[in-house]
Amino acid sequence: MAELEKTREVKRQEIDQNISTERTKPGALYIPNVDICEDKEKLVLFADVPGAGEEDIKVTLENDILTIEAKVGPEKRDSHMLAYAEYGIGDFYRSFTITEAVDRDKITARIKDGILKITLPKAEAAKPKQIKIQAE
């Protein structure tokens, strides 16, 4: 339960941070929904970035800040004109402070069906270690 509250607080801080800054580029900016999973070996982030392809996405980890940026342009329609739209077009941006020690050389990112999967393997120092108890 404490982890869920911690996650909510991080999200609130990110939203507050994004609201207080201004963009220099016109157009809509969306905060992608993200699920974060963790086990002994890794952290995995799943970010919704519909309409973005691998060439449109930039993922960086600098000074323990993981940043996701995705550029999405309007859909090209050759044979018809759009009459009504409910889905907005714009870029995606989200950043996270990574508090776990991760192995930066083994980070991977994959995109499939509009879902970006970022795998952050934990560094050996951050993995849980069981200490054997010896009787005297």
Please write the tens of the pLDDT for every residue from 88-136.
788 999 999 998 889 999 999 999 999 999 999 998 876 777 888 888 8
Spatial separation of the C-alpha atoms in residues 28 and 8, rounded to whole Å: 24
Structure-model confidence comparison of residues 116 and 16, the more confident one: 116
Spatial separation of the C-alpha atoms in residues 42 and 104, rounded to whole Å: 12
Tokens of 2: 């404490």
Spatial separation of the C-alpha atoms in residues 105 and 123, rounded to whole Å: 10
Instruction: With beta carbons less than 8 A apart as the criterion, state whether 68 and 92 touch.
Output: yes
CATH number for 30-76+85-126: choose from 3.40.50.620, 3.30.70.260, 3.20.190.10, 2.60.40.790. Answer: 2.60.40.790
pTM of the model as a whole: 0.72
Instruction: With beta carbons less than 8 A apart as the criterion, state whether 40 and 127 touch.
Output: yes
Whether 10 has a pLDDT exceeding 70, the answer reads: no
